[in-house]
Chain A
Amino acid sequence: MSATSVTAHAHVDHAAHHDLGFVRTYIFSTDHKMIARQFLFLGLSMMIVGGLLALVVRWQLAWPETAVPGLSNILKETDGILEPSTYNMAFTMHATIMIFFVIMPILAGAFGNFCIPLMIGARDMAFPFLNMLSFWVTGSAGVIMLSGFFVEGGHAAAGWTSYAPLSAVPSYTGVNWGQNIWCISLFIMGVGSMMGSINYITTIINMRAPGMRLFRMPLVVWSLFITAILLLLALPVLTSGVAMLLFDRTLGTNWFRPSGGGEPLLWQHLFWYFGHPEVYILILPAMGIASEILPVFCRKPIFGYHAMAFSMIAIAFLSWVVYGHHMFVSGMSPALGMAFTVTTMIIAVPSAIKTFNWLGTMWGARMQFTVPMLNALAFVSMFVIGGLSGIFMASTPVDIYIQDTYFIVAHIHYVVFGGSIFGAFAAIYYWFPKMFGRLTSPFLGHVHFWGTFVFFNLTFFPMHIIGVGGQMRRIYNPMQYEFLQHQQPWNVLITASALCLGLVQIPFVLNFFASLFGWRAGWFRVLAHAVGALVAGATILVFFSSLGYGKVLFGIVGLVVAVVVFAVSRRDTAGCGEKAPLNPWNSNTLEWTAPSPPPHLNWGATIPTVYRGPYEYSSPESKEDFLPQNVPPVGAAGARRH
């Protein structure tokens, strides 16, 4: 009987869902899962823009002042050759877009919206309308940011950090409205993120299902909770900063302009006071995602659940007192620099605690190397490299030498790409079945993962070397410096790898859409896999030919690789686009108890009740190797009957 009533209820909801019509269902939706998908699409589309900008930057560094392929139509006056001002614009906007409109929307926006209600057992966010507004405000900020490319004078070009007075006086860069739009867009983005974070925090505090105590919450919810608190408190500081910068530029105020009694250093303080918490905003959700995925595919409980939660809390507190490590050479008193060195070293401790707990989780486990698991493992290992290079830079004497070099760029990318983006990929592969109700292709997933992992390291690891060798970040043409010329082969290798890194994202896109639309057994799936295989082969061709080796030889190798890969793929196309079962990974957390994809209001007549923590894998209490949070303990009074 109860089963029928549940289906009946689901049916009611389903009908109600459809009655809303296209606009209310897909565009102005208040459903947290639809908003999550919207954030995901926003982030992934912006990632294409940000990625292409990065390739433009890389082209200039490897083959300076040669025409960038494909840009001759856009940069007509120079025939596709980058000028210094265009180059500055490209790296500024690459970072701005990636940080504010790719990682934040995907990790905090999409997975925050998707995971929080489903994993704490709530039917929706505390304020669904505010939630919708938060997406549309953030989305408009994104559109405004993109519009800056089309204004007179070009887009902002003072770096994503927009140091004053370079950014405060239009004539210094020749950029007028671009920088203003940068300020306006980030201001609006700040408002959108505030709406979202208020919603997240309220939901987590007030709307947990019966039995979902704070220390039974999945760690990804913990991480999003802490991220939301950091967002809530850090973003307003940036908002106030960009407002002042905008006023300096448009109303003639004197916040950052020394000529009128202002103080340029003030901008750096405001920016980094926001900026350091911001980098933890970028990494914490990925840490939570890894903590979620590792136990599932190790079939073991997470090692040190409480230590994991408390180390994130410690990171949240410490992240307010380390920001000075970005300003060691800005004229800081050495005593203060010493203090910041110490606090920065201390913040590595909770990060290390987390790392060792991940290793402890893996210790002795029989791991299942699924695509989400591989990405989570990449997250852990790459984050270690990024964290370690952070320790180098935290030490003032070392940093005085390597600040503003490619060593910093390597660090950034090991934590933000190796950390946050691998975390995002892990999350997409892991939750795709629940989010869209379809399974993804493991084959395309593997091609994408291994390609990304290899070319990521080939792209970013050599940056440590050329950084220590003295190559400054943000320079237009390294060949102009005699002491850098011998490093140019490294720059070529990096760019070749970066091009390939871009290329191997094609299997990801194919996988995403082939699975999403569920074109099973049809020509589309075969085509998707064939193209995936071809990309794998073509990548080899591109890699070696851009290093100057014979095209024909590697063309043949590439072709052979493509054929082999395709032959393998024919056996491994199962799953792609098939309807996802309720719990494809045998996980414990509550989202896997809702249908795939979950209907409006997530569950039928009753929400689940929680009896235990989220990581009871291989528990002796259960015959299977997992024990979902909502299954009543054996023999407990009032155990569910149906």
Chain B
Amino acid sequence: MTTLTVERPPVPRRTNGSLPPVPPHRGGGDGPDRDPAPHRPPLDNVRLAMLFLICSEVMFFGGLVSAFLVLRVTAAVWPPPLQPRLPVGVTAVNTLVLLGSSVAMAAALQALRRGDARALVRRLGLAAGLGSVFLLVQGYEWARLVRFGLTLSSDAYGTTFYTLIGAHAVHVLGALVWVAVVALLAARGRFTDGRTGALRACAIYWHFVVALWPALFLAVYLV
């Protein structure tokens, strides 16, 4: 029985839930009669999962936006009289800030590919910083609107505005926390061993949250 120890095959090490490539298999291979061929997926697990997460999020915001459009289209006058107008100019500039953070994130990934750890941390920090600026400006504008009398419960106008923009803000906040954690991990030297799943997932999510904003901006502020 003790000889069994010698024969133990190595226990497969798990990486991100999937296993390292299966060793060449008797009966596998690529020949015509060795039909079963190990396939190589075009998108890895992380990218695929993020893609589906985004589909799901799009449906969530789809629900909110279509509900908003129904209320807006059926309202007699929109925006209702005696309600403050939304700050289109400031928010347009703020949109540019947010788009800038996406550029920073793309640059961070480039640094990752080059293996430049310091640039990676710096650019992640920049993305998080720009994201925070966006949120702070939004918060400031909200506070002003509340002071002018636009609240969640004032009517359908306030309801839709705060719910939609608030839902986006919560997503930005969550994504910011994620970016911050990833930046911290990067600063501690993670992601140098090729296990970059968390970082890549975070980048994809950040791009999504940023890309969502122009659509909401268009629907809520401009139309």
Residues of A within 8 A of B (CB): 4-5, 8-9, 11-13, 16, 123-129, 194, 197-199, 201-202, 205-212, 232-237, 239-241, 243-244, 247, 251-255, 260-263, 266, 269-270, 273, 601, 605-607, 609-611, 632-633, 636-641
Contact = CB atoms under 8 A, between A and B. Distances in A.
A639 B16 CA distance: 32
B29 A610 contact: no
A16 B13 CA distance: 13
Interface stretch (B116-124, B150-158, B212-220): B150-158
B39 A208 contact: yes
A254 B156 contact: yes
Interface residues of B, number: 59
7 contacts: A4-B4, A127-B45, A234-B59, A244-B67, A247-B159, A255-B160, A636-B27
Nearest to A265: B70
A610 to B, nearest CB: 6
B12 interface: yes
A260 B163 CA distance: 15
A198 B36 contact: no
A636 B34 contact: yes
Contacts of A199: 49
Contacts of A234: 59
Interface string B63-97: 11001001100110000100000000000000000
Interface of B: 4, 7-9, 11-12, 16-19, 22-23, 25-29, 31, 33-39, 41, 43-45, 48-49, 52-53, 55-57, 59-64, 67, 70-71, 74-75, 80, 152-153, 155-160, 162-163, 167
Contact of B11 (A12, A237, A266, A632): A12
B109 to A, nearest CB: 21
Contacts of B64: 240, 244
Contacts of A253: 152-153, 158-159, 162-163
Contact of B60 (A197, A211, A236): A236
Given A206-B44, A266-B71, A601-B12, A637 B34 contact: yes
Given A194-B56, A253-B152, A640-B26, 16 more contacts: A5-B7, A8-B8, A13-B11, A124-B17, A125-B17, A126-B18, A205-B48, A206-B48, A211-B35, A241-B63, A252-B152, A253-B159, A636-B33, A637-B31, A637-B33, A637-B34
Top 3 nearest A-B pairs (CB, nearest first) are A211-B36, A240-B63, A252-B153
Contacts of A611: 35-36
Contact of B34 (A13, A237, A244, A638): A638
A198 B53 contact: yes
B56 A260 contact: no
Contacts, number: 179
B9 A9 contact: yes
A638 B152 contact: no
Looking at A5, A235, A255, A611, which has the most chain B CB atoms within 10 Å of its CB? A255
B22 A210 contact: yes
A253 B161 CA distance: 11
Contacts of B48: 201-202, 205-206
A254 to B, nearest CB: 5
A234 B58 CA distance: 11
Looking at A9, A210, A243, A266, which has the most chain B CB atoms within 10 Å of its CB? A210
A9 B8 contact: yes
A13 B22 CA distance: 17
Nearest to B151: A252
A321 to B, nearest CB: 15
Contacts of B37: 210-211
Given A247-B163, A638-B27, A261 B41 contact: no
Contacts of B34: 636-638
Given A237-B62, A240-B60, A11 B155 contact: no
Contact of B53 (A194, A252, A261): A194
A6 to B, nearest CB: 9
A503 B95 CA distance: 63
B7 A4 contact: yes
Contacts of A210: 22, 25, 28, 36-39
A489 to B, nearest CB: 46
Given A194-B53, A251-B152, A609-B28, A260 B159 contact: yes
Contacts of B56: 194, 197-198, 232-233, 235-236
Contacts of A232: 52, 55-56, 59
Looking at B11, B34, B57, B75, which has the most chain A CB atoms within 10 Å of its CB? B34
Contact of B49 (A124, A198, A601, A606): A198
A126 B22 CA distance: 15
A129 B45 CA distance: 14
Contacts of B11: 12-13, 16
Nearest to A125: B17
Nearest to A208: B39
